[in-house]
Amino acid sequence: QVQLVESGGGLVQAGGSLRLSCEASGRTFRSYTMGWFRQAPGKEREFVATNLWGDVNTYYADSVKGRFTISRGNAKNTVYLQMNSLKPEDTAVYYCAADPRVLGTVAAGLPDQYDYWGQGTQVTVSS
């Protein structure tokens, strides 16, 4: 059974940094598409970043490009989201997602393309 467990969320001041981690278990995730999404209160879940195959193919939402970095651990069953220069509008619950397919660049940005989800971790950025 696939499980995704996020950690690393918290409260940070604007301009600060956080590093989120997602530990995956139950499968070999080397070839999985792994992504991060977020959901703010009253808003739909939105794409943040995705890693399509190892560390080679990564894509970001325009709102986080240049500030956030997605990467995988050596065993490829952990995915990280390094978040720098945080802004109050980054406040949301952040979710890790995984899918056994190598998703295309468009599909990788769609929440309904992912089979597996973590429980989420809260990130709050104060102004």
Separation of alpha carbons 114 and 107, rounded Å: 9
**To the nearest whole percent, how much of the chain has pLDDT over 70?**
98
Interval 57-102: pLDDT, tens: 899 999 999 999 999 887 778 899 999 999 999 999 999 999 988 8
Interval 115-125: pLDDT, tens: 999 999 999 99
Tokens of 33: 């598409």
Ramachandran assignment for 52, one of left (phi > 0), alpha (psi -120 to 50 degrees), beta (any other): alpha
Confidence at residue 55, expressed as pLDDT on a 0 to 100 scale: 58
Separation of alpha carbons 64 and 68, rounded Å: 6
